[in-house]
Amino acid sequence: MHTDLDIQELVQAQVEEVCLDVTMVDSTATSRTRDLDKLLLRHGHLVGPTFEPSSQLRDDLQEYAKVLVVGAGGLGCELLKDLALTGFKNLEVIDMDRIEVTNLNRQFLFRFVQLLVAMYCVILIMGCVLALVRHVAQSETGSDASIALSCWLEDVGKPKAEVAAKRVMERVSGVNIVPHYGRIEDKDLDFYSDFNIIALGLDSVEARGYINEVACSFLEYDTDDNPLEETLKPMVDGGTEGFKGHARVIIPGVTPCFQCTIWLFPPQVKFPLCTLAETPRTAAHCIEYAHLIKWGEVHKGESFDPDSPEHMQWIYTEAVKRAELFGIPGVTYSLTQGVVKNIIPAIASTNAIISAACALETLKIATGCSKTLSNYLTYVLNPFFFQIFLVFGLTIDLFFD
């Protein structure tokens, strides 16, 4: 039985411990690291078995932890920003794509100078007039207009990895991000061995499978068939699809790897070949006809590369011809990319939520400040309720305005 005096002493001890923690946090925290210090300078009920709170842990995170971000698209941009703001100072990013105009609505690190639509129309008219009088004289205004238009598309055509790294380093002081423009398959194992954690912001099952094989290739076991800790290559995998998303932690030898759970992915939509060849009814049918049938007929022995702009342009051209033959509207280059690569439109808010979860899991692995996910984190937003909240928010804004 505890007496009232024992209870008072216990409460007083807990209060003193909390005050000590607060003092430690306040004495070392800056505005940027305040929230991080709350995790790294205190004990907790969910911390890892080797976690020891200290300011040195924060310094080690910034100095020694090295993270590779695979993908610099909608999710990858968010990941780079979140990891940099979380305290990781040594980051690298790899992506094989270049920036397109269609990326700019959700990949916020890439710039498109926003001007008034009226100004855009004026410059277009000026361009038409200048084109008509070009044979008369060379106008300096024409060159100025060209420069202005090129500035509008400041980042379009540049490698995503390079621009994303540049933008984050401009906004977050002290972080160093090394970009790599190229395919993940072109890097050897020594490249991947330098990283403590690999964070995935991919939209491809095949790419995830390749990184999974790379991470598993480093795994070694001791004489008791237990994985050696120094050979573990943790992966934090995030993915989004419209209003849905997931985050998960994959530690080869400890958790199921990517290939172990690949059956969880839904099967991709396929069209009957007879429909594609004889009775196409939609723009997607025309695109798949060019992709699955026409390409093999014309390019015998040459495999189609969905990442090749020349190959994708050929598919688009053939799909347009097919659509005109059957009177089917709607074939565009962006739709061609979406059908061939099975791309589903991304939602910026979904990317932000999943990226935050991935960044937190990366921090947990690096510091042990909390237990990591033991399974999936799944996020699903009902678009119907989203529309209700959006309309409600607009109504409130109009009311107060």
List residues with catalytic annotation: 274
Spatial contact of 87 and 61, defined as CB atoms under 8 Å apart: yes
End-to-end CA distance of the chain: 62
Spatial contact of 306 and 341, defined as CB atoms under 8 Å apart: yes
| Amino acid occupying residue 178 | V
Tokens 């003092």 identify what position? 23
C-alpha triplet 316, 95, 242: angle, nearest 5°: 65
Spatial contact of 258 and 209, defined as CB atoms under 8 Å apart: yes
| SS3 call for 275 | helix
Nearest CA to 277 out of 265, 268, 285 is that of 285
**Distance between CA atoms of 259 and 262, rounded to whole angstroms?**
5
| SS3 call for 377 | strand
**Distance between CA atoms of 79 and 194, rounded to whole angstroms?**
19
Helices 348-367/74-86 angle, 10° precision: 40
The two beta strands, 66-70 and 197-200, are: parallel
Taking residue 44's Cβ as centre, other Cβ atoms within 10 Å add up to 13
| Amino acid occupying residue 366 | A
Residues in contact with 337: Cβ distance below 8 Å, sequence separation at least 6, in sequence order: 312, 343
Alpha-carbon distance values, 96 to 166, 202, 268, 276 (Å): 16, 11, 23, 31
**Distance between CA atoms of 315 and 292, rounded to whole angstroms?**
10
DSSP H helices, 29-54, are 34-40
| Amino acid occupying residue 191 | F
Spatial contact of 60 and 51, defined as CB atoms under 8 Å apart: no
